[in-house]
Structure 1
Amino acid sequence: MFISQQLKEKNIAEYLLYMWQVEDLIRANKCDIDSIKKNIVNLYPADEDKKKELAKRYEELIEMMRREGVTEVGHLQINKNVITLLTDLHLRLLRSPKFPYYDAAYYKVLPFIVELRTKGAHRDEPELETCFDALYGILMLKLQKKEISEETKKAQEAISNMLAMLSDYYNKDKAGELDFD
């Protein structure tokens, strides 16, 4: 089983961040499958059958990105659908009186969302997408070994905690274990 499949089953928030990274890896390799095979697939610690399966998955993603016009920027519809599902669950959790800890986590994150949006984040995107954008941006800074301010670390912790709770609720909701009334 590939990392993406494992993450999708265990932690939907980490899955989405991983898939955004995959989109960027594809872009960094200019949507060229030969480049992806050389730079990613061949380095994957697996047997040849798994590598062929992984290469096929990348080819499918490249084709989807071309069809959807997101080879330069943007996200695949399959990833947008995850945001939509999570936003729906997020709103149901906030509307229900049964999830006070989630409410508290959200209200701890809300000032960071407002601040990010005043600094240029897209106001028309769902709040959760703003949260994911922030975490992804921090991930990119870390990969580039750039310094992260204390305020950004506070935001990261609050957002990560809320998204971890949301991911847990997502799994419970999929299993039919949540009662909103």
Structure 2
Amino acid sequence: MNIAENKKQNNISEYIIYMYQTEDLIRVYEFDIELIKQYVIKHFPVSDEEKTEMAEWYKDIMAQMEKEGIKEKGHLSTVQNHVDQLSRMMDDLKTSDEEFKKIYEHTAPYIKESLELAHGQITDEIQICLNGIYGLLLARMNGREVPQELMPGINAFGDTLSYLSYKYKQKNFLSDN
């Protein structure tokens, strides 16, 4: 099982963010599998066979991105379907789950503020949470300091996504059995 599949089974939010990162990585290397092999895959401490499987996985992702016309921006439809599922789950849990209601009440002001800052370009609350966490990841990867005043909101986004991922896994486990 590759990294993405493992994340997909265990934490859907991590999977979505991992796939966003993969899409961006492919764009940075301009859809050149040889560069991805040299600068990414080569550094994984796995067997040559596993490296070959990883390269095939990247090629598949590239082909999907090209087919969907998202070479420059956007996300794979399969990944966005998971975002949509999380959004629907969040809407349901807001009215049916007391624990989630508390988490959401804490996160809601940060979501509202971020939606306002997005000026209508992003309208989905889950997308706001994912973008906040992904932005933190990108900043850290690039060695940039994240302003301390942003951290309470980012932590609230993380709490929301963690709870939703837990419920998502629980729901999918129950539906598989």
Structure 2 distance, partners of 1:87, 1:118, is 18
> What are the superposed Cα offsets for residues 44-86 of structure 1, whole Å, 9 maximum, x if unpaired?
2111111111100000000111111111111011110110111
Q: Secondary structure of the equivalent of 1:46?
A: coil
Structure 2 distance, partners of 1:160, 1:23, is 21
Tell me what 1:17 maps to. Answer: 17
Tell me what 1:153 maps to. Answer: 151
Tell me what 2:102 maps to. Answer: 104
Aligned residues between the structures:
175
Tell me what 1:41 maps to. Answer: 41
C-alpha deviation, 1:123, in angstroms? 5.0
What runs of 5+ residues in structure 2 fail to find an aligned partner? none
Structure 1 distance, partners of 2:65, 2:120, is 21
C-alpha deviation, 1:150, in angstroms? 2.1
State the identity %.
Answer: 29
* Contact 1:122 1:130 (C-alpha < 8 Å) held by counterparts: no
C-alpha deviation, 1:175, in angstroms? 2.2
What runs of 5+ residues in structure 1 fail to find an aligned partner? none
Tell me what 2:142 maps to. Answer: 144
Given residue 156 of structure 2, which amino acid in structure 1 is its aligned partner? Answer: A
TM norm structure 1: 0.91
C-alpha deviation, 1:121, in angstroms? 5.6
Q: Secondary structure of the equivalent of 1:18?
A: helix
Tell me what 1:164 maps to. Answer: 162
C-alpha deviation, 1:43, in angstroms? 1.6
Structure 2 distance, partners of 1:137, 1:121, is 18
Structure 2 distance, partners of 1:132, 1:121, is 17
C-alpha deviation, 1:106, in angstroms? 1.0
* Contact 1:86 1:166 (C-alpha < 8 Å) held by counterparts: yes
C-alpha deviation, 1:173, in angstroms? 0.9
> What are the superposed Cα offsets for residues 77-131 of structure 1, whole Å, 9 maximum, x if unpaired?
11101101111111121131xx111011112111111111221264553210111
Tell me what 2:31 maps to. Answer: 31
C-alpha deviation, 1:30, in angstroms? 0.3
Change (3 A) 1:121 1:70: farther
Partner of residue 127 from structure 1, selected from 120, 125, 128: 125
> What are the superposed Cα offsets for residues 115-171 of structure 1, whole Å, 9 maximum, x if unpaired?
112212645532101110111111111112212122211011111011111111111
Q: Secondary structure of the equivalent of 2:31?
A: coil
RMSD: 1.5
Structure 2 distance, partners of 1:131, 1:162, is 8
Structure 2 distance, partners of 1:48, 1:61, is 20
Tell me what 1:66 maps to. Answer: 66
Structure 1 distance, partners of 2:102, 2:165, is 16
